[in-house]
Structure 1
Amino acid sequence: MKTLLPTSTAGSLPKPSWLAQPETLWSPWALEGEALVEGKHDALRLSLQEQQKVGIDIVSDGEQTRQHFVTTFIEHLTGVDFENRRTVKIRDRYDAKVPTVVGKVSRPKSVFVEDAKFLRQQTDKPIKWALPGPMTMIDTLYDAHYQSRKKLAWEFAKILNQEAKDLEAVGVDIIQFDEPAFNVFFDDVNEWGIACLERAVEGLKCETAVHICYGYGIKANTDWKKSLGTEWRQYEEIFPKLKESSIDIISLECHNSRVPIELLALIRGKKVMVGAIDVATDTIESAEDVANTLREALKYVDADKLYPCTNCGMAPLSRDVARGKLSALHAGAEIVRREIS
């Protein structure tokens, strides 16, 4: 029987301190060689166990085997020089030293398939795997070769499609593309960003999701959010086109954000991963906090299409806080399940 309101996480979960420095993005690995390979798999098992223990229904790898949700994928491609770094403004908000595209980009072999296969062997639950979206990939690089955001995004879309097909083949149930850039470059999103996403999912039989949030709880993001005023209506710019797209699930931020919940009406009919956990604070939500967010969302999303989720990844949080938040997510979903069934 299909679970009503199946819970899930947006992506990353904290790494154990023996694998990488905790509560840090881009944290360097504490192990190397064979010990690192084994350590990543141990961390993946641990992350899975914690998700299952608190009752998460759609589980993931918690991104334990990657340093960063975008660059770890790019590291495995040809045409990108990681030694030759240039400073760019990421998401129009903060400067970062990023790798340079120096030639044609391609994927010599699959990037995450072995890890996904390992996760599939550990659990019978539905599994979700996150990949960076084409627009967010180009926003995390300096392009000295194509010199066209659209051209480079299109090349990445083709590469992501190859990877997604390989992930589907080893039993991944939902493939999610992370596109925080969709909340910033609205004209590009509508002109070619959604078309690139469609290219990335072409031919897939498994479910597909796009995750569009206001970012991790890091200072650059929280400062930016303070500048957005009392209502965050960014989703309004892109929802109409996303509703028409072939993407199955739209994942977005709701709890503690200033997103007017009625914007969900613009994607009525789509499945929606509703962010009911704030990742920008250490305060652990109560089950009732979560339930309230879900009740509000249910005014605009049919119950069989609502997936309670976190706002974004939780890599920068402590493991205790993340565990508490996931428990609250499960408990809040349980309350609402009982109310509507």
Structure 2
Amino acid sequence: MKKLLPTSTAGSLPKPSWLAEPETLWSPWKLHDETLVEGKQDALRLALQEQQQAGIDIVSDGEQTRQHFVTTFIEHLSGVDFEKRETVRIRDRYDASVPTVVGAVTRQKPVFVEDAKFLRQLTHQPIKWALPGPMTMIDTLHDVHYKSREKLAWEFAKILNQEAHELEAAGVDIIQFDEPAFNVFFDEVNDWGVATLERAIEGLKCETAVHICYGYGIKANTDWKKTLGSEWRQYEEAFPKLQKSSIDIISLECHNSHVPMELMELIRGKKVMVGAIDVASHIIETPEQVAQTLRQALQFVDADKLYPCTNCGMAPLPRQVARGKLQALSAGAEIVRRELTHSIL
């Protein structure tokens, strides 16, 4: 029998201090060559162990083997020049120095497949693997070749589909596409954003998810959130399209966000990863706070389709805080699980 309210994380967990600078997003590696490969595998083992000890049901690699959730994937593709950098505005929120698309983008070899195989060997639990979504990928680049955001997104969707099929073959149970850009570029989401996502999941038999969040708890994101007013209704734009799409699971930011819970009615029928852990705060939630967020979500999501989760990745947090939050997520889910089981009985 499938477990009710299976818990998972949105993606990243803090890296150990011997691998990269703690509490820093996208910090450079401290190891090199063979020791880096070994160090990443050790960190992956630790991330898995932390999730297991906290009682997380659907585990991931904690993104230990990648420096950045988008560019680490792009680094392995041809057609992108990492020496030729330009400053661009990311998601209309902050400036970043990004690589340039100088030719046709292609994938010469698998990017994360070996890492996924390594994780698969370590556990019998369901595993989830995160990939960047096509729209978020194009928003993290300067393009002088295609000169069209849509054309480049379709090319990336093709490449992501190749990677996803190999991850599925490596034993990944859920492939998640990270699309924070879905909360910003509403016309594009409508015109081709969801369509390119459909292309990325074409032919997959494993479960698929899209993670649409308001971002890590970094200053650029928290400042932006302050401008969104008392109600964050951005999800309203993408939800009707996603509800009709083939994506199985939609991952959302709920706890301490200003997202009106009733918006989830627009994706009724889909499985929903309900973010019940705030990644922008060092305060560790109590199990009861987690339970309360889940109870609210249950008004709009059927119990067999609700997956308690974190709002976003936890890479910038101190390790002990992330550990505490994982434990709270498990304990809060268990409270609601018991309530649901008792009401059935």
TM-score range, shorter chain: over 0.9
Match of 2:291 in 1: 291
Offset at residue 231 of structure 1 (A): 0.2
Offset at residue 273 of structure 1 (A): 0.1
Match of 1:310 in 2: 310
User: Under a length normalisation based on structure 1, what TM-score does the superposition of the two structures give?
Assistant: 1.00
Match of 1:123 in 2: 123
Give me the whole-angstrom Cα distance separating, in 1, the residues matched to 2:284 and 2:220: 22
Give me the whole-angstrom Cα distance separating, in 1, the residues matched to 2:326 and 2:137: 28
Give me the whole-angstrom Cα distance separating, in 2, the residues matched to 1:324 and 1:336: 19
Offset at residue 139 of structure 1 (A): 0.2
Helix, strand or coil: the match of 1:278? coil
Superposed CA deviations along residues 155-190 of structure 1, whole A, max 9, x for unmatched, are: 000000000000000100000000000000001001
Superposed CA deviations along residues 272-328 of structure 1, whole A, max 9, x for unmatched, are: 000000000000000000000000000000000000000000000000000000000
1:70 aligns with 2:73: no
Give me the whole-angstrom Cα distance separating, in 1, the residues matched to 2:27 and 2:297: 35
1:157 aligns with 2:157: yes
% same residue: 83
Give me the whole-angstrom Cα distance separating, in 2, the residues matched to 1:26 and 1:11: 14
What does 1:130-209 correspond to in 2, within 5 Å?
130-209=130-209
Helix, strand or coil: the match of 1:195? helix
Give me the whole-angstrom Cα distance separating, in 2, the residues matched to 1:19 and 1:27: 10
Q: Which amino acid aligns with 2:306?
A: L
Match of 1:102 in 2: 102
Offset at residue 26 of structure 1 (A): 1.2
Give me the whole-angstrom Cα distance separating, in 2, the residues matched to 1:209 and 1:294: 19
What does 1:15-26 correspond to in 2, within 5 Å?
15-26=15-26
Give me the whole-angstrom Cα distance separating, in 1, the residues matched to 2:238 and 2:30: 40
Give me the whole-angstrom Cα distance separating, in 1, the residues matched to 2:139 and 2:210: 16
Give me the whole-angstrom Cα distance separating, in 2, the residues matched to 1:285 and 1:297: 17
Q: Which amino acid aligns with 1:139?
A: D
Helix, strand or coil: the match of 2:251? strand
Superposed CA deviations along residues 208-262 of structure 1, whole A, max 9, x for unmatched, are: 0000000000000000000000000000011000000000000000000000000
Offset at residue 109 of structure 1 (A): 0.3
Q: Kindly tell me the number of residue pairs found equivalent between the two proteins.
A: 341
What does 1:27-38 correspond to in 2, within 5 Å?
27-38=27-38
Give me the whole-angstrom Cα distance separating, in 2, the residues matched to 1:16 and 1:26: 13
Match of 2:338 in 1: 338
Give me the whole-angstrom Cα distance separating, in 2, the residues matched to 1:117 and 1:86: 35
Runs of 4+ with >6 A deviation: none
Helix, strand or coil: the match of 2:158? helix
Q: Which amino acid aligns with 2:338?
A: R
Helix, strand or coil: the match of 1:181? helix
User: Under a length normalisation based on structure 2, what TM-score does the superposition of the two structures give?
Assistant: 0.99
Helix, strand or coil: the match of 2:82? strand
Helix, strand or coil: the match of 1:105? strand
Q: Which runs of 5+ in 2 are unaligned?
A: none
Q: Which amino acid aligns with 1:281?
A: S
1:88 aligns with 2:88: yes
Give me the whole-angstrom Cα distance separating, in 2, the residues matched to 1:318 and 1:83: 32
Match of 1:327 in 2: 327
Q: Which amino acid aligns with 2:106?
A: S
